[in-house]
Amino acid sequence: MITIRPTGAALGAEIQGVDLSQDIDDATFKQIVGLWHEHEVVFFRNQRLTPEQHVNFSRRFGELELHIRKDCCRPGFHELFVVSNIILDGKPIGSQDAGLFWHSDLCYLKVPSRGSLFYALEVPHDVHGKALGDTKFASATAAYNVLPESTRQKIAGRKAVQSYAKGYYRDRNAGPRAPLSEEQQRRTPDVEHPIVRTHPITGKKCLFVNEGYTKCIVGMPGHESDALLGELITHATRPEFIYQHSWRAGDFLLWDNCLVQHQAVHDYQLPLRRHMERTTLTGSAPF
């Protein structure tokens, strides 16, 4: 039987009593989806999943994205994007510096992702046994709900430009990245999305701008756009909207890429190893 333990923060809940390596019946799956929509982030502890089981469970939600950085995907599984600092035979096994700024996955696509399913395989710890490499999640609905009326009026009906190149070329711990290939550039032109987005299933409204990829507000002079965007981005990540997840190996966590933005905490380095794998669900055009 499923039990649920909300984190006590603005979002997030642990779901207990489910073994994701087993067949999940339709009623239980429906319950999980409902809890996910309600809590925006849900997680299961102590899971033991093969890559196939991770992918198959993810497919229950719908189509999966194949990440543009194929070199960062698990060999043989283009659906599994690897986030890790591990170097094997002189080559990184995945993206070493993913998610170090606030963002939502694939917000820069014409059709952004619905959600991500993240599995923790190896988690770094400090000498006292404290887990490192947490992930912070900010509720974009909580942020929208308390937005001052004057700000709501300024952004009503407006769109912002989301840019993959902006995030890709940011300063990174792992050093500068290779330039995007022509094919990668072709697949990721700048796109415009509403600043206030409506969740396609729950109808919840949320603030859809982030530090990582949002470049400017459409149709607004540069200085005005920078100031308003700065204000919105600071507001969206206020501490009261955040749940910080402390990982344990075997955690399986789902976040919603419309209702939530996230940021990885980079407070560890080799020889401390972190190895996570993510599937990313195809979403629908924002409105």
The residue ranges that bind ligand SIN (CB under 6 A) are: 83, 98-99, 105, 135, 262, 264, 276, 278
The residue from 39, 67, 97, 105 that is catalytic is 105
The residue from 193, 199, 275, 278 that is catalytic is 278
245 part of the active site: no
Three-state DSSP at 223 gives helix
The residue from 103, 114, 197, 275 that is catalytic is 103
Structure tokens at 91: 């080559």
The residue from 197, 262, 274, 275 that is catalytic is 262
Complex with ligand SIN: residue 154 or 266, whichever CB lies closer: 266
Complex with ligand SIN: residue 109 or 276, whichever CB lies closer: 276
CB within 8 Å of 12: residues ≥ 6 apart: 6, 39, 40, 41, 42, 43, 137, 243, 245
CB within 8 Å of 208: residues ≥ 6 apart: 104, 107, 140, 160, 193, 194, 195, 196, 197, 258, 286
262 part of the active site: yes
CB of 23 to ligand SIN, least distance (A): 27
CB of 82 to ligand SIN, least distance (A): 10
CA distances from 152 to 62, 155, 207, 247 (A): 33, 5, 10, 35
CB within 8 Å of 99: residues ≥ 6 apart: 83, 135, 262, 263, 264
Listing from the earlier edge strand, what are the strands of the sheet with 13-16? 3-6, 13-16, 41-44, 252-256, 113-122, 275-282, 77-84, 73-74
Give the whole-angstrom CA distance, residue 260 versus residue 112. Answer: 13
CB of 242 to ligand SIN, least distance (A): 14
Contact assessment for residue 33 and residue 4, using Cβ atoms and an 8 Å cutoff: no
Contact assessment for residue 226 and residue 60, using Cβ atoms and an 8 Å cutoff: no
125 part of the active site: no
CB of 146 to ligand SIN, least distance (A): 25
Give residue 49's identity as a one-letter amino acid code: L
Contact assessment for residue 259 and residue 118, using Cβ atoms and an 8 Å cutoff: no
CB of 99 to ligand SIN, least distance (A): 2
Structure tokens at 17: 């009593």
Please state the length of the chain: 287
Complex with ligand SIN: residue 40 or 105, whichever CB lies closer: 105
**Which residue's CB atom is positioned nearest to ligand SIN?**
99
CB of 223 to ligand SIN, least distance (A): 30
- List residues with catalytic annotation: 103, 105, 262, 278
